[in-house]
Chain A
């Protein structure tokens, strides 16, 4: 049973969002990291890149697989988690503590399409 944190929003492609004013902190769920197994690389966008809700902004890689990361919101990347560049295993260790990107949202109403922890628990089984 994977860990799910209350108070975060979730997408059906297993990203989580923590809302901090008009900035969305985005990571992947514990379920997603467990499905991937040992993560060997986190492909991330650069600061100032635009992301679009539902489109990929990067990928998680393991030895034998690659899984796209889909942005739960639209906006501009304001920060990427540089620690992951040299230590992708941090996502395996704690997927919630180790966020991937922060996005300045262009349309906060997009958050309405995301799930709460209870709803996400139903699909992350």
Chain B
């Protein structure tokens, strides 16, 4: 990767153009909107040629690292390979050119995708019905909690204003609960990294709307007390919410619906291989048990005698959560992935992801602190280096240093400093699409980095050495924000 230092605005030359448009439908028409409704000056957009645009963004892309560039073991993000056929399917004009408000009779193919995806995701998770309307995982969480609140409200039970969240949870869980008007009660993890059932018991009561759990949790551990947790929460009148961020290892092995979960979301951009796109567009379908189906958001697709129909409003529905019916383009890709893998290969994906994670864990525990040694699922957490090199008299190498040094070797870094339970957390998730050779190469590099740290931690402190830029001054960025071209904010 090489450093390229231009912004598109800096290529601008007055009068240069990169577009062509058809002739006006009415050349005689004069733009006659009253001057008082028009802007004073044209917007300061760049004026560039087509080749300027193509070269600029090609150069930018070359400062980026994606799954197609190399191994991307970012914990809890499930950076699996994104099959290319999915892109082609999503680009078909007969999908791309469809207006969201067209009559049902003209979009039967689109609606069948919604219907079949609902069925497929239900089969995979053991839930009864899915809405595909949420546009991301966090959006799914919020939608699922809205369903939870609607359920309690429909029973006249308005006292349930709290939701229990484990201390190991993703930060979105408490944030989503707050946006949904619920307050948070935190339940602690025990020494083995699992939800502490004894700590949970006194929290349960008539004010509890439910519990949000990630299983396997963010330490990659299966919450094996889930049966007891489910019955405790259900007995107190609460519901169980499953955060599907970590669904990948359960593919073909365990269904959230069978574990007693009432509501869940999936991240199609994680488990179902749709590209992450630099941070979206994603898709966060929400599935529910049978008794909660009527609370799912609208609009939704139903089938009647082989014809598909859109239901715009439903009396008990949580309501409309996005502009139309979610990110259809993303849903198409995920459906192509499911069809391509079929029931056999989908059922193998989870096990292979788990095997890869355990293989890395066992191979590196001689060099990195492993706080929880048990068999993990799709991911696991190290708590920094065993020998950080501080014996050399120099400051020791931290998890941040290890992460930055990995970039020099052509790997993306793991998730760092999360979960918060460990100070030097390094969270690794390989996914099933990586070969043993790739995992071995990563393991070798991680050993090499550990050796470097022990001998001369400064090599790590200065990393990355080969990236387009070295570590930036983030403090300055936050203290003196420059948030747009030629900014004069401060």
Contact = CB atoms under 8 A, between A and B. Distances in A.
> Do A's and B's CB atoms come within 8 Å in the complex?
yes
Interface of A: 38, 40-41, 61-64, 86, 88-89
A40 B475 contact: yes
Interface in B337-383: none
Contact of A40 (B417, B478, B490): B478
A86 B480 CA distance: 8
A54 B14 CA distance: 59
Nearest to A64: B417
Contacts of B474: 63
A89 B477 CA distance: 13
Nearest to A89: B479
B490 A38 contact: no
Interface residues of B, number: 7
For A40, A41, A61, A89, the residue with the greatest tally of chain B CB atoms inside 10 Å of its CB is A40
A41 B490 contact: no
B422 to A, nearest CB: 15
Interface of B: 417, 474-475, 477-479, 490
Given A40-B475, A88-B479, 16 more contacts: A38-B475, A38-B479, A40-B478, A40-B479, A41-B478, A41-B479, A61-B478, A62-B475, A62-B478, A63-B474, A63-B475, A63-B477, A63-B478, A64-B417, A86-B490, A89-B479
Contacts of A89: 479
Contacts of A64: 417
A41 B490 CA distance: 13
For B474, B475, B477, B490, the residue with the greatest tally of chain A CB atoms inside 10 Å of its CB is B475
A19 B474 CA distance: 37
B173 to A, nearest CB: 17
Contacts of B478: 40-41, 61-63
B481 to A, nearest CB: 9
B11 to A, nearest CB: 31
A4 B490 CA distance: 33
7 contacts: A38-B475, A38-B479, A41-B478, A63-B474, A64-B417, A86-B490, A88-B479
Contacts of A38: 475, 479
Nearest to B478: A40
A61 B478 CA distance: 9
Nearest to A63: B474
